[in-house]
Amino acid sequence: MVKLLDLKAITAMHGEEIKAAIDRVIDSGWFLQGNENKQFEEDYAKYIGTDHCIAVANGLDALYLLMRGYKEMGLMQDGDEIIVPANTYIATIIAITRNNLVPVLVEPTWEHLEIDIDKVEAAITPRTKGVMIVHLYGRIAFNDKLGEICKKHGLKLMEDCAQSHGCAWKGIKTGALGDAAAHSFYPGKNLGALGDAGAVTTNDPDLAEVIRALANYGSQKKYVFKYVGMNSRMAETDAAALDVKLKYLDEDNRKRQELAAYYYTHIQNPLITLPKRINDENNVYHQFPIFCEKRDELQEYLKDNGIQTLIHYPIPPHKQECYKEWNNRSYPITEKIHAQELSIPMNQVVSMDEAAEVVKVINSYHG
């Protein structure tokens, strides 16, 4: 069996260091908002290339707090519009609607799977206040044209970096390309915690101060509450583990890129489509998606032949029951992606022998 994701093996790569870090937390007797959080925030901000990093409880909170911060600063208000890719994970959309903002869904390109930047400007209205790009699958969703569009129209450029730890554009890491960014450290991510964890990165000191308060019940000073906030904290154990794994992130991503290069070279099946290959700097391969018109049949075939896979994602946001008012909308490219996508094993512990087995089985599929 070639596993899609072996978290035990991934953790074991640096297991002794992680255990030592957790022991340090236990011995300190300090489990929230302590030195481990401060150290990780400092190290991650330095890695990303921003002045500020605010550690929070999870990626959804990071997305929500980012836009909530702008609302508290008076830069966004109820009913304002946020342009967002139609084919993102539901969390991106939830964070927008929970803030009483309006998602404006824009199709991706079939070639790159990311938001179609050529369609962004046409989606801008007088109510548009920001663009939320999502670096889906670990692929870059930014280019210079998008930055110019946001600057021209005075829009906040926000990034959902849940799948793009270490990805970059012309030397600038995702998380530092726009005005602010949300990060998830869910265990299966390229940089994964031992449980849920997240962060916001930004160069805006005012936004950072507001988000930090909002995540602490709305308090900037003990028992004094400026905002109606929430409790969103990263555990000290997760911060300690993340700081260990951060040291190895670029090395782990290079292993993913080597694996991806093997897949691109050797997967040769006319029934299978691969996304356009892009520069390694622009793709850290959180997932390796392949596409097939008979996706469900292919998935069953791979399962029967010992290859684990997962669909990212079977139902697009506009077809979900929680947004039933959108169910009659049509986004053909998004729907095609969601109908055909299948993620195959992709991470730093997949061996080349296992990769060869994955390729052999995929190439033997005849539909």
Strand 180-184 relative to strand 224-225, pairing: unpaired
- The CA distance from 155 to 150, in Å, is 5
Contact criterion met (CB below 8 Å) for 183 and 219 = no
Per-residue pLDDT tens digits for 338-364: 999 999 999 999 999 999 999 999 999
Nearest to 89 by CA among 119, 59, 57: 59
Q: What mean pLDDT value characterizes the chain?
A: 98
Average pLDDT over residues 265-284: 98
Contact criterion met (CB below 8 Å) for 72 and 213 = no
Average pLDDT over residues 207-227: 95
- The CA distance from 266 to 55, in Å, is 40
pTM of the model: 0.97
DSSP string of 78-135, one letter each residue:
TT-EEEEETTS-HHHHHHHHHTT-EEEEE-B-TTT-SB-GGGTGGG--TTEEEEEEE-
Start-end of H helices in the chain = 7-12, 15-28, 35-48, 59-72, 90-98, 144-153, 205-214, 236-246, 249-266, 295-304, 332-340, 352-363
Contact criterion met (CB below 8 Å) for 165 and 183 = yes
Contact criterion met (CB below 8 Å) for 76 and 129 = yes
Q: Coil, helix or strand for 226? A: coil
Nearest to 36 by CA among 47, 23, 25: 25
Task: Check residue 367 and give its pLDDT.
Answer: 84
- The CA distance from 305 to 297, in Å, is 12
- The CA distance from 140 to 137, in Å, is 9
Per-residue pLDDT tens digits for 50-59: 999 999 999 9
Per-residue pLDDT tens digits for 62-84: 999 999 999 999 999 999 999 99
